[in-house]
Structure 1
Amino acid sequence: MPTTRARRGGEVGAAGSAYAALDLLATLVAVIDDDGRIQYANHALEDAIGLSRRTLAGVPLAEWITQPELLHNALAGARGHEYAVIRYDTHLKRLMRAPLPVHLVLASTEAADRRIVEMLPLEQQARLEREERLLEQAQANKELIRNLAHEIKNPLGGIRGAAQLLQMELADREDLTEYTAVIVHEADRLQSLVDRLLAPHRRAPVMGDVNIHEVCERVRTIILAEFPRGLRVVRDYDTSIPEFRGDRELLIQAVLNLAHNAAHALKDRIAAGDACITLRTRVQRQVTFGKRRFRLALELHVIDNGPGVPEDIKDRIFYPLVSGREGGSGLGLTLAQTFVQQHQGLIECDSRPGHTDFKILIPLP
């Protein structure tokens, strides 16, 4: 087990005031001197190792790394100004637990004798990369949708207007006005699709106090009214979840879109009478969104026992116009993701045959 050496309280307190902002980070951070001894450990690193920063102060960080020679080499390179930033994968030792695989980043600071060591758990790094991809995808979708919708909208109005004029000219030819009626009808359908594509980007959220269980109950009522037989909607609520600021109607629509998708995926089980959707709420602690750490977050699951998301679209389910069912618009999940991201959150999906779980994560105050 790595050794520890206590430092004087005054030194720890002085370091604490200088580096207090590091406690807001979700990543594990240590400030070390040129000899590699820990001068400061943030809360995340304390939690990971299982010791307080006061106990860790003055201890060589290399004692807590499974490949200490790599850290020694990195420090030598930093002291010699060979590198500004050094990265590599290693393992962080922990008390009474297995070593944690981390991506270690060693960087210089403005102080010549201090280095910052940031350790990002590899699982967390993968999650951050996935979140960044979702955010980038959402932004790209937004631009694509806006441009595509405007490109469609202008000629669509001309097509509909021309069809109406032609319909008036052919008023005495019922066999031909059927065709113009089809053109007008399809133009209206495309116009409705364009309006739905643009809707979430036109309306600013109307913020108010939201009780997530009122949102869930509203969705449950709507789904059971639409599917009165063969489908159970199970409540699994954590009633201690506090109210938070949000747009109630947008959140209802987001959860309803997920529940609707689940219900349509369950059509065979509904016919058999054993379809089930579960609405589950939980609180998750110390959650990271992007690179910000939040003390609490709402975790809302919409779980179904259907066949699962088709493999060929698993990586694209939040793209616009991608649908796993015949006749689907491919907008439900895209809009749901947009509405949740307007609350600084995101939607994740875990799907396999017999169990599909769409999880909404939203920071709580």
Structure 2
Amino acid sequence: MSELTTPEILLDNLSTAVILLDDKLRIQYANHNAQTLFERSLNLLVNCPIHQVVATSSLDFGRFKNSSHYGEVYSDSEVTFKFTDGRYTQADVSVTNMADENKSQLLVEIRSVEQQKKISQENQQRAQQRAARELVRGLAHEIKNPLGGIRGAAQLLSKQLVSAELIEFTSIIVEQSDRLTNLVDRLLGPNLRPTFSSHNIHKILEKVCALVDLDLSHNVAITRDYDPSIPDVYIDQDMIQQATLNIVRNSLQALSEFPEIPGKIRIVTRIERQVIVHGACFPLCAKIQIIDNGPGIPAELQNTLFYPMVTSKKDGSGLGLSISQTLIGHHRGKIEVESWHGRTAFTIYLPIDKKETQK
């Protein structure tokens, strides 16, 4: 291994995003983590002014210039970045002046705090959701048993009645008992075991788009941004189709409540590396993002969004996202959500096992 490549290999394996700026705040180098953070390749980043990739920031860029001119070294914590593509993130930033006799350069280290927050929040939410599911299972058992007795008694009673009016009442009892039983079954979520085989994720997403296009009740524009390099994924295609369809319909419902906004949904697929899902690290994951330009999810609902019966929609059942999470959980994956006014992004991570894709 040559001495010239050793520093690059070390930098590319850091968990910290590292960029090098010249005295005009143009990017001269970005390691792999920085390329991931900015979602641009090194070729696109080199000689690009930092303002062209960071739209706004709570970081004082004036201090960048002070660092460049006067050798000031400083750091800032929990800096909020908004990127030009609409993403937000929080990070700790350190700026070091690397001036020599010929030129002045700034070494900027960006340590994302989002990942640690997400892991902590994910573990907490998972524990809460597990407790909620156990509570629902217990309630379902206590509800379904009496319902079965009520339904059976109503059927027996209807056979003893001769009055058509009274028989109609017993029919209502049976009908409402069945409705409540179906609701409880939906709260419990899918009980079928997944049937795994290798599938092209984009074919499944195209089926979802085709189903949405058949719905004439909306005029939302759906665009695709697919990564054709994603290999086939070992999944149950019906479950993944249902999970993504539920999320897309959730976005459609949110957009339909604000018809004055030209609704847009963007479906993006990418490869994501070194993804932590429920404490396990997967080297390779297929990432599916469903992004809309709606009003955003109310802050008070974001931590309980995947619980059964939680919804902000006027006509929503609050079951779609809960079912989606259960279905993705069957695939060892996870769903994340980021939301603010004008942008809501649901991100699905599906682990890719190279051995399984080769079967």
TM-score range, shorter chain: 0.5 to 0.7
Residues 296-335 of structure 1 mapped to structure 2, 5 A cutoff: 296-335=284-323
Tell which deviates more after alignment, 148-157 or 177-186. 177-186
Q: Is the 8 A contact 1:230 1:272 kept in 2?
A: no
Q: What's the CA shift for 1:198?
A: 3.3
The question of 1:290 aligning with 2:278 is answered yes
Q: What's the CA shift for 1:268?
A: 3.9
2:142 is aligned with what amino acid?
A: E
In structure 1, distance between residues paired with 2:15 and 2:339: 34
Please give the TM-score of this superposition, normalised by the length of structure 2.
Answer: 0.65
2:141 alignment partner, SS class: helix
2:127 is aligned with what amino acid?
A: E
Q: What's the CA shift for 1:144?
A: 2.2
Distance change (3 Å), C-alpha of 1:199 and 1:311 = closer
Q: What's the CA shift for 1:232?
A: 2.1
Name the count of aligned residue pairs: 270
2:309 is aligned with what amino acid?
A: L
Kindly, what percent of the aligned residue pairs are identical?
39
Question: Residue in 2 aligned with 1:261?
Answer: 250
Structure ID, larger Rg = 1
In structure 2, distance between residues paired with 1:166 and 1:214: 52
The question of 1:161 aligning with 2:171 is answered no
> Is the helix fraction higher in 1 or 2?
1
Question: Residue in 2 aligned with 1:105?
Answer: none
Question: Residue in 2 aligned with 1:35?
Answer: none
Q: Is the 8 A contact 1:91 1:100 kept in 2?
A: yes
| Partner residue of 1:98 out of 102, 108, 118 | 108
In structure 1, distance between residues paired with 2:109 and 2:340: 30
Question: Residue in 1 aligned with 2:265?
Answer: 277
Q: Deviations over 1:119-173 (max 9, x none)?
A: xx64332121122123223322332232222221111101111222333334414
Question: Residue in 2 aligned with 1:338?
Answer: 326
Question: Residue in 2 aligned with 1:188?
Answer: 178
Residues 43-82 of structure 1 mapped to structure 2, 5 A cutoff: 44-45=13-14
Question: Residue in 1 aligned with 2:124?
Answer: 133
Q: Is the 8 A contact 2:11 2:18 kept in 1?
A: no
Question: Residue in 2 aligned with 1:359?
Answer: 347
Q: Is the 8 A contact 2:282 2:351 kept in 1?
A: yes
Question: Residue in 2 aligned with 1:213?
Answer: 202
In structure 2, distance between residues paired with 1:97 and 1:339: 44
The question of 1:238 aligning with 2:227 is answered yes
Q: Deviations over 1:89-139 (max 9, x none)?
A: x998999643455xxxxxxxxxxxxxxxxxxx6433212112212322332
Q: What's the CA shift for 1:47?
A: 6.7
Distance change (3 Å), C-alpha of 1:159 and 1:245 = same
Please give the TM-score of this superposition, normalised by the length of structure 1.
Answer: 0.64
RMSD: 3.3
Distance change (3 Å), C-alpha of 1:92 and 1:287 = farther
